[in-house]
Amino acid sequence: MTARGAGAAIEAEGLSRHFGAVKALDDVSFDVRPGELFGFIGPDGAGKTTLFRILTTLQRPDAGSARVLGLDVVKDFWAIRTRVGYMPGRFSLYADLSVEENLRFFASVFGTTLEQGAKLIAPIYEQIAPFKDRRAGALSGGMKQKLALCCALVHTPELLLLDEPTTGVDAVSRREFWDLLEKLRASGLTIVASTPYMDEASRCERVALIQRGKILEIADPRRIGERFDRPLIAVRARERMRLLEALRAHPGAGSVFPFGDVVHYTDARPGGDARAIADAVRQDLAARGIADAEVEIVSPGIEDVFMALMQRRGAEAA
Amino acid sequence: MTSALGERSIEVDGLTRRFGTFTAVDRISFDVAQGEVFGFLGANGAGKTTAIRMLIGLLAPSAGSARVAGYDVATHAEMVKRNIGYMSQRFSLYEDLTVRENITLYGGIYGLSDIAIEKRTTELVDRLDLRDDIDARVKSIPLGWKQKLAFSVAVLHDPRVVFLDEPTGGVDPITRRQFWELIYTTAATGTTVFVTTHYMDEAEYCDRVSIMVDGRIVALGTPAELKEQYEARSIDDVFVRLARAGTAA
């Protein structure tokens, strides 16, 4: 979170922006290192799009400041625009132009050519090249997304900003898209992407968890479990609804959330010995007539941490 | 999973839809029991939306048949529409109407009496804890509440089947889980829930799931059965394997 001097790709300090009574962004500070793949993870309405629009100079902050590639987002907006690539959340290409025409158009807007941009976009463009004469409006969702990525990269930007590139995309296509981003990052490009899908955090070097305009946490996704202050217990039983009710009735129960085919349980109080908690849960479930419960101690994932932070913030606000 | 009577609220047999030379849905067959939570999975472009449009009576099949809530979708589409609920990710609520006005409007569309609407409104705002916001415009209430309200409106008329098309997209992880409890509660009263999602952990919450690849249903069973059959740790793994195999073909 500390400023890293002129070397940072992005430095944001106390960014705020409201729309009427709604605080879309509330005192947001972070930095992105050159060459980093940085993720903003949070649900709809968290402020992700407003943040991206400020970083791409399409909107001004009410308070705070941000420097992108060393340039001020308010004063130097014109210089920033030629040096960043932006893929907005909503499909914003020309539906009536062909794939190739869209690319040539975006290249010309930035005063370059498709040929000059070819090197960076090659690994993506080759996947849509067979359809280069097709109207963009007639492409499948996945192809549209790849074309939009090419258009955002055709002027060889130093920083790529992607606002929810995978929203509404199936689990397989989402993986493939992140594979592409990793390839781009390996070529030295700095990438900032936002997503509502928590499982995509693991593809980033660092993630900022964002909710209702505020950053809850910035962390390395591989180490985010360290932010969890109590043992986490996973329980499996055939009758999930009964299991949920029984766990919620367990003395000392804190959070009880379904997680795929298991239920995650924590005590209300932090600390505590994991094995003792697991034993107590096991005994209590047996006493409540859930005979087939399998209880184990697990490491928290990003979604566990996100929910714990949401609840803590909710408790503070109340 | 199966109701006491073993009654089926969705029966699909060889359902097919062609657009020109392209077969979007290719001879799919499955049954869903009354009160079951059925997950309908597939990659983008696999044919899910086309299949759902046929099941809710909006698109005529090219071949095969489907009965939903006891009515044939090809010959009795209007009766199908009257006996189902539908909620898509982009909510069907009117943002400039209040919570109460939205409920009244949909109650009227579904043909409920004024007394029934009044009663349902009270029940619904109590259950969703929306009493203080009943006269607030929908656009001013938080996204998570909006989504639960949209669901409640979709089942306002006690339909035999409710179709949920990516109901939890973009929703925070706590609200997403609360939403699934709402689904369970609804299914427990006997309403069949037919749901699509891109969150593979949610597939695990379904009684049974089907996975569609290139217009066909390639896997169908309880989450436990599918994981065993494909020797996978999660439905996500099963899905990735089947969907990848489909695109490669």
Query: In chain A, which among 28-47 make CB contacts under 8 A with chain B?
Result: 42-45
A vs B, Cβ pairs < 8 A, gives 86
Nearest to B180 among A140, A258, A311 (CB): A258
C-beta contacts of A180-186 below 8 A and 24+ residues apart? A180/A123, A180/A124, A180/A146, A180/A149, A181/A37, A182/A37, A183/A123, A184/A120, A184/A153, A184/A160, A185/A35, A185/A36, A185/A37
Distance CA A272, CA A68 (A): 44
pLDDT value of position B246: 66
Identify which of A44, A167, A261 has the shortest CB distance to residue B223.
Answer: A261
- To the question of domain B1-83+161-249 being in CATH 3.30.750.24, the answer is no
A310 vs B: CB within 8 A: yes
Domain range summary for chain B, segments of one domain joined by +: 1-83+161-249, 93-158
Inter-chain CB proximity A240 and B205 less than 8 Å:
yes
Interval A267-289: pLDDT, tens: 999 888 999 999 999 999 999 99
Cβ contact, residue pair A172, B170, below 8 Å: no
The per-residue pLDDT string of chain B (249 residues; one tens digit each, 9 = 90 and over) reads 444 456 899 999 999 999 999 999 999 999 999 999 999 999 888 999 999 999 999 999 999 999 999 999 999 999 999 999 999 876 689 999 999 999 999 999 989 999 999 999 999 999 888 889 999 999 888 888 888 899 999 999 999 999 999 998 888 999 999 999 999 989 999 999 999 998 999 999 999 999 999 999 999 999 999 999 999 999 999 999 998 776 543
Per-residue pLDDT of chain A (318 residues), as tens digits, is 444 445 899 999 999 999 998 899 999 999 999 999 999 999 988 999 999 999 999 999 999 999 999 999 999 999 999 999 999 988 789 999 999 999 999 999 999 999 998 988 998 999 899 999 999 999 887 888 899 999 999 999 999 999 999 988 888 888 989 999 999 999 999 999 999 999 999 999 999 999 999 999 999 999 988 889 999 999 999 888 899 999 999 999 999 999 988 999 999 998 889 999 999 999 999 999 999 999 999 999 999 999 999 988 877 655
Contacts of B46 in chain A (CB under 8 A): 170
> Following CA atoms A79, A85, A88, A93 in sequence, which dihedral angle do they give, to the nearest 10 degrees?
100
Share of chain A above pLDDT 90, in %: 79
B-chain residues near A172 (CB < 8 A): 43, 239-240, 243-244, 247
What are the structural domains of chain A?
A: 5-225 (3.40.50.300), 229-299 (3.30.70.260)
The closest CB to that of B171, out of A43, A172, A307, belongs to A43
3-state SS, one letter per residue, for B49-97: HHHHHHHCCCCCCCEEEEEECCEECCCCHHHHHHCEEEEECCCCCCCCC
Q: Cβ A43–B170 below 8 Å, yes or no?
A: yes
